[in-house]
Structure 1
């Protein structure tokens, strides 16, 4: 949830909820929104909670290893969250597989799911095509977003200043002679992605491979799904048929993830 949409935590807990637990998780999310490191006064300002309450919650989170206090007295997300995040990513990929399998059944091409993790795209699920010549990306593989369809889908609605900052950190190395290697070129591709409702990697990550991707709306973490295959099969006419299927599956996945239960496919 974007920081601008996050409510303050000074209201009573939802019926049946534990207020201190809700507040602790909200503070962790606010820390993530702020880049992973914040001061107590920043948390108090954004959450509406008094400093003594925040200090007590942060002390507990530090003791549990979910937050650590830096030498400069600011607080940072702690290493124990890594294990939770990795497990959640694997589970998310497991949930997505029935939806990806339907994409493979209807398009004949490989289907993937990817997340934006820091400055990189990480693939968390894949169902391969049955064709002998197919696109294959190892689950767990990390790539830079500027040369991928899922990267464009994941970043299409990020503010330009954030996109430029990410590209400055990662650089824009060329994977092929079709890779976009300037911030202006990539920002232009993101504008096209927003206008037409899907992203396209046209021989930019690997020569001979095209990838079509869409974001999962309202996902709790930035996520996208894609269909990829040889350029000779994933043609413009094929793309016109694939895009609506991708968008339908993305909406269904969004509803399943919002239900707080395992998607059934």
Structure 2
């Protein structure tokens, strides 16, 4: 713990704090917006940003806003693979218990990216490729993640990405989405009712305490994923998200 007081380590911590703030802002923000979110003096923030820009972890846009830089892409890809490997045993257990496809997804800008997937053993199943991106407003994992964010950030992310309707069941207005987010917060899980694909239902739950917003889901055809399945799925997801949350806490420690 003593090492954390050294100036070198402190500078690294501060730099990563700024990267986290930019990420939470959706990937870009102004210097003044950063200053509002941290107690650091403005000259210190500016100095750290110059350093991050110089090594490619941050870039300055023509409108003088700061955005996450291209060198973070490779780090993110590797981290996502590692996260998928950590979650793989949990996803396999979900599939063994429930018989349907299990997925892990993380917030990626104004969308979600699937970082882990174990398919159902059934020939008719929901199969989501790792690396695929989906909208926040009409996916189970997306809505579960939204429920962990504050309303202002939800509005900013959704308006930034738009609300395209993948099916006739997709939520298409912000008020309707916010009403569903409140319901998800109350019940602790989200449901995708044929919003991404006709004939497919998905139950999703956020991973509490995760370093970046993420969620687990279980999905399958509505012919197999009904009310009885819902009770089992919610209970299984509670245990699974708890396991991943504990594992991530252990990793971060």
How does the TM-score come out when normalised to structure 2? 0.88
Query: What per-residue deviation string (whole Å, max 9, x for no partner) do you get for residues 18-51 of structure 1?
Result: 2222222122223333442332x65456433344
User: How far is 1:97 from its partner?
Assistant: 0.7
Query: What does residue 75 of structure 2 align with?
Result: 84
Which of 151, 158, 175 pairs up with 2:166? 175
The reply on whether 1:128 has 2:123 as its aligned counterpart is: no
For the aligned residue pairs, the C-alpha RMSD in angstroms reads 2.4
Query: Given the alignment of the two structures, is residue 252 of structure 1 paired with residue 225 of structure 2, yes or no?
Result: no
Residues 194 and 73 from structure 1, CA distance in 2 versus in 1: closer, same or farther, beyond 3 angstroms? closer
Distance 1:79 1:131, change over 3 A: same
Question: 1:206 maps to which residue?
Answer: 197
Which digits, 9 at most, give the CA deviation of each residue in 1:166-220, with x for residues without a partner?
3323332222222222222222221221121111111121111110000000111
Q: How many residues align?
A: 250
* Residue 142, structure 1, aligned to residue 136, structure 2: no
- Seen in structure 2, the aligned counterparts of structure 1 residues 233 and 62 have a Cα distance that, compared at 3 Å, is same
- The CA deviation at 1:112 is 0.3
The reply to whether residue 188 of structure 1 matches residue 179 of structure 2 is yes
* C-alpha distance in structure 1 between counterparts of 2:43 and 2:164, whole Å: 48
CA–CA separation in structure 2 for the residues paired with 1:232 and 1:52: 60
Residue 219 of structure 1 aligns with which residue?
Answer: 210
Structure 2 distance, partners of 1:178, 1:76, is 35
Alignment of 1:26 onto 2:17: yes
Structure 1: distance between partners of 2:203 and 2:150: 22
Secondary structure of the corresponding residue to residue 259 of structure 1: helix
Structure 2 unmatched ranges of 5 or more = none
TM-score normalised over the length of structure 1:
0.85
Secondary structure class of the residue paired with 1:60: helix
1:8 corresponds to which residue?
A: none
- Give the drift of 1:160: 2.9
Q: In the alignment, what sits opposite 2:233? A: 242
